[in-house]
Chains A and B, each alone.
Chain A
Amino acid sequence: MSAAPETAGGVIHDEAAYKRGLRLRTWRGTAWQNFFLLAIVAGIAALIALGFTVVNDAFGYVIATYETPAAELAPNGDLNGLSNAELAQILTEHTPSRLAVYIRDYLYSGDPAEFAKLPMSQALPGATLLPGAENRTVRELNDEQQAAILGDNLSQPVLVTIVEDNVVGESIYQTFSLTESLVNRAGIEAELASAPEGATLSFRSWVSLDFLLSPPSANPATTGARVALLGSLWVTALTILIAFPIGVGAAIYLEEYAAPTRFNRFIEINIRNLAGVPSIVYGILGLAVFVRALATFTGGRSILSAALTMSLLILPVVIINAQEAIRAVPLSLREASYGVGATKWQTIWRVVLRSATPGILTGVILAISRAIGETAPLLLVGASTFIVSDPSGLLSKFTVLPIQIYNYTARPQQPWRDAAAAAILVLLLVLLLFNATAIIMRQRARRRLSA
C-alpha cells in the first residue's frame, strides 16, 4: 500500500472535518431513502386513484323507468327462472309484431334485405323448425310458429335479454356515482321526484352475476360481459398454449445449441428488439398472415387468428425471460449432471429446465398481463365490436374485454361509462385469475428447488 494522499490524511486526522463529512454522508443516505419512499407513495397513490375511479362508476344509485316491470312477467321479477317456452310466450304476448325481427337479428346471418323472401330452411340452415315451416317465408308463419323458432333455437340467456330489452324496457333515467350515492342522498331524492311517473330508485352494482352472464345489448341496463369474457378466456388460454412451448423451445435452442456465431447473435438481438415493437404492427402482421393468407386454416377473423397474433406479440417476452433463466443455472449443476454420464438432452431436461422453471414462469406472468390487456392488434385481426353469440371453438368469431370496454366508453351516456367500469373490474379479475395461477405454479417450482 502506498501512503494515503495528503488531503485524505487531513480528514482522517482532523476530527472536526471528519464529523462534518460524516454528517454529510448520513444526510445523503437519508435523502435517498426519502426519495425511495416518495416513489413508493406516488405509485400507491396512482393505484388508489385508478381503483377509485373505476369503483366510483361501478357502484351507485340509479333511477330507472320500465315499460312493463319484470314483476308483472315472472314470479319475483326473476326472468332467469323462466323456461325458453315461457319467455317466447311473453314475447308473443307483448311484442307480436317484432317476432320476425328477433329471428332476423339473432338467428339469421345473411343479407337483411333478402331475409323476408327466403323460405325458413334456407334462411336458417340447421335450425330446428316445426314441420311445415321449412318451405314458408317468415311472413307466412303465424305468431306461434315464429315464437317456436325463437324458443327452440336461442339460448335461455339470449331470450332473457330480448325480453328485458323489448318487454321490460328498463331504461336508465339517471345514474349516480358511489361518492354521490354516499354523501348526497337528499339531492338524489330530489332528482327522483322530478323523474317521470313510475321511476324507481335502487342501488345498483354494475358488476353482477347478471352482468357476467348476459350477452351485450343495445340497452346499458341489460348489457353484459359474457361474450367478451369468454372471448378473453379463449384467446388468452390459447395464446399461452401456443407461445409457451415455442418460446421455451426457442430459448433452449439459443442458449444450449446455437453456436455463438454472428448470425445467431443477430437473431438474438432481433428478438430483443421485437419485444419493443408497437403492438399494432403485430396486428397488421396478423391481419396479413393469419386472417388473409392462411384463412383456410384459421377461419379468417377467428379466435385462432387472434391467439396466433397474440402469441407472436408475447413470444419475445417469453423467450427473453426463459433465456435469462436458463443462463442463470449454475455451471456446477450442469457439470454434476455430465459428471455422472448424462447426455446433453438429459442434462437440459432434468437439471437445466427444472432449475429454470421459476424464471420461465416469470416471463409467462408478464406475457399473460400483456396478452389480456391488448386491444389494438385484436381490432385489426377482427375482433367483433358487437356480437351476441358465445365463442364456440377455435374458428368462431369473438370479442374480448378490452374491446368491449372501448366500445362502451365510446358512447356518450353515463350508464355506458358505468357498464365500462364494471367490465374493467371483470378484466382485472380475469388478469388476477391467470396471474395467480402462474404465481402459484412458480411458488411450487421454487419450493421444490429450495432446501
Chain B
Amino acid sequence: MSITREAGPAWAIELNKLTVYYNDKLAVRDVDLKIERQKITAFIGPSGCGKSTVLRSINRMNDLIPGARVTGRVMYSGKNLYDTDIDAVEVRRHIGMVFQKPNPFPKSIFDNVAYGPRLLGIRDGKTLKQIVEQSLRASFLWDEVKDDLKKSGLALSGGQQQRLCIARAIAVQPDVILMDEPCSALDPIATQAIEELMLELVRQYTIIIVTHNMQQAQRVADYTAFFNIRKEQETAGNERRWGLLAEHGATEQIFNAPKLEETERYISGEFG
C-alpha cells in the first residue's frame, strides 16, 4: 500500500504513544504529539533526552540503526508509518531530512540536488535542470552557485553546504522536512541565513527542527516541544534513564508562561 498525501487534516503528523528502544535500552517513552501543517515546531531539551531519536523515528531513519525498535504510531496522511505494508523508502520521499553536520555528496552541486529526482527515474536533462534551479532558488543558494554548478559540493562553505543539503531535500518535493540541529556546526551569519530560509520554506512545508539554541527556537518556531529526562534508581548505583515529552505548546507560551517548573528551569538556563 502506498502513501497518498492528504491536504485535509490540520495535523501533518501525529505521534501516538511513540516509544523507542535501542536494543533493550529504553530511549524515549510514550510521546504523544501533534505537528501542525505548515508551521515550524521546535524540539528542545537537554542532551540525551531523545530529541533526535523522536525526529529520526518520524521518517523511519532509525530503521538503519541495528537494534532500534519502535512501538506506538506515527500517523501521516491517515496511515501509520510503522504499518508492515509501508515502505520506509516511500516515507522518506514524503518526509525529508537535514542533518546536524552538512553532508553533501562528493559530487557536483548539480548532481547533489539532482540526486533525489534521479532516484525517482527522472533522466531528462531539461527537467533535471529545472528542478535543480528551482530547488537552489528555494534554498537561497542559486545566486551564489549558478555559475559553477559543476563545482564539487564539498568546495562550498559550511553554511552553503547546509543550504545545498536543504536544496537536495526539497528537490524531491517532500511534505515535511526534519532538521536535526542544522545550525550547530555553523557560524552566526550562516545560522541567520538558514533561519531566514526556514521562515520562507514554512510557507510550503511543515518543518520540525531540533535545536539547542533557545533564541533560535523563539525566533523561528511556532510551536515548541520540551523533552526531558526521567531517572529511576533500579538498584544501588544502577540508574535507568529515559526521555519523554514534558510540555508542548505555542512557543510564546512555552517561553513566557511555562506550565511546568522543569520547563521554566530549563529555558532559564538553570538546568543540570
Check: A139 CB closer than 8 A to any chain B CB.
no
Residues in chain A near residue B103, CB distance under 8 A: 330, 332-333, 335-336
- B92 touching A451, Cβ below 8 Å: no
The interface residues of chain A lying within 8 Å CB-to-CB of B168 are 336, 340
> In the bound complex, do residue A339 and residue B169 qualify as a contact, i.e. CB atoms below 8 Å apart?
yes
Please give the distance in Å from B62's CB to the nearest CB on chain A: 11
Decide yes or no: A450 and B101 within 8 Å by CB, A338-B64, A339-B96 being known contacts. Answer: no
B147-161 to A contact mask, C-beta < 8 Å, 1/0: 000001011000000
User: Inside 8 A of B252's CB, which chain A residues have their CB?
Assistant: none
Q: Are A336 and B105 in contact (CB under 8 A)?
A: yes
B99 within 8 Å of A (CB atoms): yes
Determine whether the beta carbon of A355 is less than 8 Å from that of B106.
yes
Chain B interface size, as a band, is 20 to 34
Shortest Cβ distance from A446 into B: residue: B106
The interface residues of chain A lying within 8 Å CB-to-CB of B120 are: 341
Provide the A334-366 mask, 1 if CB < 8 A to any CB of B, else 0: 111111111100100011001100000000000
For B81-124 the 0/1 string (1 means CB < 8 A from A) is 00000000110110011110101111100000001100110000
Contact A342 B61, beta carbon cutoff 8 Å: no
Asked whether A441 is an interface residue with its Cβ less than 8 Å from the other chain, the reply is no
Contact partner of A338 (CB less than 8 A), chosen from B61, B105, B172, is B61
Residue of B nearest to A447 (CB): B152
B165 at the interface (CB under 8 A from A): yes
> Which chain A residue has the least Cβ–Cβ distance from B152?
A451
Partner of A335, one of B64, B90, B104, B172: B64
Closest to B156 in A: A451
Q: Specify the chain A residue showing the minimal Cβ separation from B155.
A: A451
A351 to B101: give the CA distance in the assembly, Å: 17
Tell whether B194 is near chain A: CB-to-CB under 8 Å.
no
Min Cβ gap B114→A in Å is: 11
Find out whether the CB atom of A340 lies under 8 angstroms from the CB atom of B169: yes
Smallest Cβ-Cβ distance to B118: which chain A residue:
A350
Is there contact, CB below 8 Å, between A342 and B89?
Answer: yes
Q: How far is the CB of A44 from chain B (nearest CB, A)?
A: 36
At the interface, yes or no: A448 with Cβ under 8 Å from chain B?
yes
Contacts of B66 in A (CB 8 A): 260
Q: Considering the complex, give the chain B residue whose CB is closest to the CB of A344.
A: B89
Q: Is the CB of B89 within 8 A of A339?
A: no
Asked if B106 contacts A450 (CB within 8 A), the reply is: yes
A241 at the interface (CB under 8 A from B): no
Interface size counted on chain A using CB atoms at 8 A? 23
State in angstroms the CA–CA spacing of A448 and B104 once bound together: 14
The A-B contact count (CB < 8 A) is 75
Q: How far is the CA of A332 from the CA of B100 in the complex (A)?
A: 10
Give the residue among A336, A337, A350 with the most B Cβ atoms within 10 A: A336
A449 within 8 A of B: yes
- Report yes or no: A350 in contact with B115, Cβ–Cβ below 8 A: yes
- Decide if B171 is an interface residue (CB 8 Å cutoff): yes
Q: Are B171 and A340 in contact (CB under 8 A)?
A: yes
Contact of B172 among A332, A333, A341, A355 (CB under 8 A): A341
CB of B115 within 8 A of CB of A338, answer: no
B171 CB contacts on chain A under 8 angstroms: 340
Residues of A within 8 A of B165 (CB): 336
In angstroms, Cα B64 to Cα A334, docked, is: 10
Q: Are A339 and B152 in contact (CB under 8 A)?
A: no
Q: In the complex, A11→B164 CA distance in Å? A: 54
Closest Cβ of chain B to A345, distance in Å, is: 10
Nearest residue (CB) in A for B154 is: A451
**Shortest CB–CB separation between residue A145 and chain B, in angstroms?**
67
Decide: A342 and B99 in contact? CB cutoff 8 A: no
Q: Which of A260, A342, A343, A449 is the one whose CB lies under 8 Å from B106?
A: A449
- A340 in contact with B119 (CB, 8 Å): yes
What are the residues of chain B within 8 A of A346 when measuring CB–CB? 119
Whether B97 lies near A343 (C-beta < 8 A) is: no
Cα distance, A287 to B80, chains bound together (Å): 60
Interface string of A354-389 (1 = CB under 8 A from B): 110000000000000000000000000000000000
Q: Could you say which residues of chain B place their CB within 8 Å of the CB of A332?
A: 99, 101, 103
B92 near A341 with CB under 8 A, answer yes
Distance A205 CA – B172 CA, assembled complex (angstroms): 66
Chain B residues near A449: list those with CB within 8 A.
Answer: 106
B215 CB → nearest A CB, Å: 27
Nearest-neighbor residue (CB-CB) of B108 within chain A: A448
Max chain B CB contacts within 10 Å: which of A330, A332, A337, A340?
A340
23 A-B pairs with C-beta separation under 8 A: A330-B103, A332-B103, A336-B103, A336-B105, A338-B61, A338-B64, A338-B89, A339-B59, A340-B96, A340-B169, A341-B93, A341-B116, A341-B120, A341-B172, A343-B89, A350-B115, A350-B119, A351-B105, A354-B107, A449-B106, A450-B106, A451-B106, A451-B152
Interface pairs A-B: 9 shortest CB-CB? A341-B93, A340-B116, A451-B154, A339-B97, A451-B155, A332-B103, A449-B106, A341-B92, A336-B103
Task: Please give 12 more A-B residue pairs, beta carbons under 8 A apart, in addition to A333-B103, A340-B168, A450-B152.
Answer: A333-B105, A333-B106, A335-B99, A338-B61, A338-B89, A339-B59, A339-B99, A340-B169, A341-B116, A341-B120, A354-B107, A451-B106
Interface residues of B, Cβ cutoff 8 Å to A: 59, 61, 64, 66, 89-90, 92-93, 96-99, 101, 103-107, 115-116, 119-120, 152, 154-155, 165, 168-169, 171-172
